[in-house]
Amino acid sequence: MSISLSNLEKYKIKLRKNDVLCMTGDVNHDLYYIISGTLLICVNQKRQITPIAYLGPNEYLGELSFIDHMDRSAHIIALEDSEVIKIPSAEFKTQVPRWLRRIAKKITAKIRLMDEIIQQNGIRKKNVESIKPLSIEDQRTFFNSLEEYKKKNNQAFKP
């Protein structure tokens, strides 16, 4: 199966504000291309939601899981009505040569290791304005969205 312009419509996903596209630990290895809207990439410790990035149109998300087939490492929440295109993980194997897949997996492993180190030890930010902190109200809203997503998918949310 190959994605083409003729069958692109069936891969579009429409998200409403505060919809959860996926959560940490989800077994979903698809890649997403953002057509419109803004998505929050975040993690949580208990009820505290920590933003990692804000992504918008023409950006991709989910590339690590797409390449290495490991579970999701962050939550993805729509900050406004958004539209994404889902690129199934099977496309990676059919479209990318084996030697390039091996290199991509090694690079992905290094990124995951650095992510783990940052999550354990934190990171000192100097003059970083691109990742604004969330208000307590926003954290509460997103936490509730994550809980609702888990209920819909019959999974227990572990804050």
Model confidence over 102-116: pLDDT tens digits?
Answer: 999 999 999 988 877
Handedness of CA 117, 58, 61, 29 (dihedral sign): negative
Average pLDDT, the chain: 85
What distance in Å separates the CA atoms of residue 140 and residue 148, rounded to the nearest whole number?
A: 12
% of the chain beyond a pLDDT of 90: 41
- For 73-111, b/e burial (b = at least 16 CB within 10 A) is bbbbbbbeebebbbbebeebeeeeeeeeeeebeeebeee
pTM of the shown model: 0.76
Q: Which residue has the tokens 């959560």?
A: 23
The residue with greater pLDDT, 157 or 28, is: 28
> Domain locations in the chain?
5-123
Q: Extract the tokens encoding 12.
A: 């579009």
Question: Is residue 61 over pLDDT 70?
Answer: yes
The CATH number of 5-123 is 2.60.120.10
Q: Which residue has the tokens 């918008």?
A: 56
pLDDT of residue 50: 85
